[in-house]
Amino acid sequence: MFVASLCTVATAAQSIETIDARQLAGPVESITTQAVVFGRPGASQQLPRADVASVVLAPAGRLMLRDGQAVIQSAAGGQLAVSEIAVADGKVSFASGLLGRATWPMERISLILLPSATASPAQVLGELERLAPAGQALDVLLVRRSDGNLVAVAGVLEKVDAKVVRFRWKGKARTAGRESVLAIRLAGSAGQGPAVSGWLRSRDGSRIGFAALSMDSRSVTAELVPGGRKEIPRNVLAAVHFVSDRVVPLARLKPATVTEYGFLGKAFGHRVDRSVGGGPLRLGGKTYDNGLGLHSFCALSWRLDGPYSSFVAVVGIDDAVRPRGDATLTFLGDGKPLTGPMRLTGNDPPRTVRLGLTGVRELTIRVEFGPDRLDVGDHVDLAGARLIR
């Protein structure tokens, strides 16, 4: 028997979300290797840490959408709001509201984004990806020429300071004014090192991975990836997100079959960890790091590689196109409905979907045109979509 549960997403100043997307509100007292303790003094409760997906302490800023904000992205996938960036002797030094002053080896960094005052990190990254697709064997610099046009230059980065960027291009030393370089993608970034057990997110929107963590009423002590052991004041943090071996993000699995077409023949391809419009997955004012962006019409099927008990996701029309959007979302298990069709419009709040998957070998997600029979604004997000063992 398949069981589906739908509910409006709840928010709270401090809350805990379990791996099956249940929300528990209350002050968070501490985190240990075994449990998360929360609730009122004298009436606290404990949850096994293995059952916790995230602990929310405060709102987080939208880092990648903040004009003029320099960002460093680690090879492990972390993103930090930074200033005072300098590169020399194979090391990158910077100042960060989350970490203070830090120096990392260049191989632990994959991207340096240096937008102008009127551009966001996301815009700069989009231009870099447009002009220089991933896979280059050399470092790539996104440079604004004197005529205002952008160009991607492949070379070897040697130095960055407040005035110039120095690199080798075709074997020769070159320099560019620091203000003309908008992004640097480093080719030699290594693997993330120790396994990531979760992610710390700060109030400015930065996030960094950790291998181990504990928290009390004043601070978090974490083994950061990268960065080593660090004690961070609790009041700079927005959330702690845990990685569980019981949880498999659906976006990490390749669908076995994909069918996509638009109302007038133009199809919007599905996106991994992005909305179909290319922006972050954003529902009800909250930004999600992982999930799927879908559009009508599409049908995607996954052959499940093991026994899963349930599927969980937050679903709705992406904030970027609201109040437009009118689509119908359906979930099938081995070709049979797991729940009734759900109409999603740009005027509806996001909803949490929980589906029982016991015995299911193939999961299909279908997005159809809504009653308006059009596909205008049908940017359907499956935020945090995950399979649970």
| pLDDT tens sequence across 278-324 | 888 999 998 888 999 999 999 999 999 888 999 999 999 999 999 99
Report how far residue 274's alpha carbon sits from residue 168's, in angstroms, rounded to the nearest whole number.
34
Q: In a 10 Å sphere around its CB, with 0-12 CB exposed, 13-18 middle and 19+ buried, how is residue 101 labelled?
A: exposed
Nearest by Cα to 170 from 148, 153, 146, 193: 153
Give percent helix, percent strand, percent coil of the chain, each to the nearest 5: 10, 50, 40
- Please tell me the predicted confidence (pLDDT) of residue 3: 39
- What domains appear along the chain, each with residue ranges and CATH number? 63-185 (no CATH), 247-388 (2.60.120.1060)
- Please tell me the predicted confidence (pLDDT) of residue 319: 97
Report how far residue 87's alpha carbon sits from residue 105's, in angstroms, rounded to the nearest whole number.
10
In which residue ranges of the chain is pLDDT below 50? Answer: 1-12
- Please tell me the predicted confidence (pLDDT) of residue 10: 38
- Please tell me the predicted confidence (pLDDT) of residue 7: 40
| Cα 273 to Cα 70, 268, 321, distances in angstroms | 22, 15, 17
Report how far residue 276's alpha carbon sits from residue 300's, in angstroms, rounded to the nearest whole number.
14
- Please tell me the predicted confidence (pLDDT) of residue 190: 61
pLDDT, tens digit, for every residue of 354-384?
999 999 999 999 999 988 777 888 999 999 9
